[in-house]
Amino acid sequence: MTEENFDTLKTQVEDFVVELIDRSSLDLKVIVTAPEPETIEVSFQGFDLPLLLGHNAELLDALQYIARRAFAQAVADGVQIDFDAGGYREARRQELDLMAQKAAERVKLTKVPFVFDPMNAQDRRIIHTALVDIEGIRTESEGDGQTRRVKVLPA
């Protein structure tokens, strides 16, 4: 994708999300950046931030899903569209890294598999990535749809 096409896409994503937020009557400010090549990050600020982040950020995830579907061709072409609010994604990544390390230690010590609660694909990927280089354990996903979860097993 050329830089000009990417800039156009970034503007289209921004316009789409601003319109979505305006129609929802949420009191949020939309900030769109491109922190890395081929990556569009949409951040939110404002009074209704707790609504976005409630219930494990379900609304934030839903908005991200809608935007990715609306720009499915760009996503298929390798553009990453990520939504964040108040640093939630980084805090969640750190939390999942810590949970993964604790699960790995437990499995290595007890030799008993550990199964996480169901989580979305983005969170499962963080768990798998955090544990990929740890000797003595392996990970796999099990289940379908909303019940899909990560299982940590002895290697």
Residues 79 and 40: beta-carbon distance below 8 Å: yes
Q: What's the mean pLDDT in 59-70?
A: 96
Question: CA-CA distance, 74 to 122, in Å (whole number)?
Answer: 19
For 19-54, what is each residue's pLDDT tens digit?
999 999 999 999 999 999 999 999 999 999 999 999
**Residue in 67, 75, 61, 58 with CA at minimum distance from that of residue 32:** 67
Three-state secondary structure call for residue 31: strand
Q: Domain 91-154 belongs to what topology?
A: Ribosomal Protein S8; Chain: A, domain 1 (3.30.1370)
| Element (DSSP H or E) covering residue 109 | helix 88-110
**Identity of residue 117:** D
Residue 2 has pLDDT above 90, yes or no: no
Q: Indicate the average pLDDT of the chain.
A: 95
Percent of the chain with pLDDT over 70: 100
Output the pTM of the full model: 0.81
- Structural tokens at position 75: 């996503």
CA atoms within 13 A on the CB side of 63: 29
- In the chain, residues under CATH classification 3.30.1370.50 are 91-154
- In the chain, residues under CATH classification 3.30.300.20 are 3-86
Q: Exposed, middle or buried by CB within 10 Å (0-12, 13-18, 19+), for 147?
A: exposed
Ranges assigned E (strand) in 74-148: 80-85, 114-115, 137-142
- Decide if domain 3-86 falls under CATH 3.30.300.20: yes
Question: CA-CA distance, 85 to 53, in Å (whole number)?
Answer: 8
Q: What's the mean pLDDT in 124-138?
A: 95
Q: pLDDT band at 146, cuts 50/70/90?
A: confident
